[in-house]
Amino acid sequence: MDGPEPPAEAFEPIMVGNLVARLANTSAEIKAAQSLRYRVFYEEMSAIPSDKVKATRRDFDRFDEICDHLLVIDTKRTDLPGGVVGTYRLLRSTVAEEKGGFYTADEYEIGRLISGHGPTLELGRSCVEEEYRNRPTMQLLWQSIAAYIFYYDIAIMFGCASMPGTDPKALAMPLSYMYQYHLAPPALRPVALKERYVDMRILPEEQIDQREALAALPPLIKGYLRLGGFVGDGAVVDHQFNTTDVSIVVKTDLVTEKYMKHYDRKSRRDGEDEGL
């Protein structure tokens, strides 16, 4: 699977030092992103690869062909394929409607979410090389996403975010916390498919320690919630990827305000915004 035709640029490349964030322009660059995903998901996180994925040492599926691929490239890392150290997969509703739908629909009913709210954007396959999981890399990713959603006038972004492990009871505190304090309003609320639905209300509200719950959340989910994001109803266990997933929904006006206006102002001053 070589990936889609190179996309039109939705924004100019964003550079900080030897790091540059931009959309993939060639099939080789998409393969480099897939190689990074393989290293993180299969080698680091112990996902179970198909024979083809294992043979190519690249994580891929049918959605790669219709998505834009956001990259963070370290121009000095000649030891890594394409120098790619971070990636996000982006799928606009206008494309998904013509090309077979959204990845999230394999886990969640999203009809209410994608109807009547304007253009939407699915975020997926978020992945960063271990030593680059820091503020500058995340800043580049999020500033780029802000530019992308501004360019395409995206109203809502959504996707599945993962917590390690396939035992929801072991994740009782963060799952219960997200349901009680960050549940999406009904009009924007994805619901896990009936056959995959895991009730997030494992603990009663009075037993939820918010500080403990926040500490247990992966940085990416914590970042979405800090942006005012919501979660859907129900978790989904993904045995292939060794994760428990939740559905995330974010109104993009919050993203553009934080990562365009605020970032532009503050980054000129000290080169660094508050990270996720």
Q: Calculate ∠ Cα 130-10-105, nearest 5°.
A: 65
CA gap 221, 162 in Å, rounded: 8
Q: How far is CA 71 from the centre of its chain?
A: 13
CA 219 to each of CA 57, 112, 275: distance values in angstroms, whole numbers, following the listed order: 26, 27, 10
The per-residue pLDDT for 139 is 85
Hey, which residues does 159 pair with through a beta bridge? 248
Q: What is the predicted pLDDT for the residue at 11?
A: 75
Residue 74 CA from chain centroid, whole number: 20
Domains of the chain, start order? 14-270 (3.40.630.30)
Specify the pLDDT at position 262.
Answer: 42
Stated pTM of the model: 0.88
pLDDT at 261 (0 to 100): 53
Mean pLDDT by 10 residues, the chain (276 residues): 53 91 95 97 94 97 95 96 97 94 96 89 95 89 90 94 96 98 95 98 97 94 91 97 96 72 42 36
For residue 7, the model assigns a pLDDT of 57
Q: Is the four-CA dihedral 25, 26, 29, 34 of positive or negative sign?
A: positive
Per-residue pLDDT at 87:
97
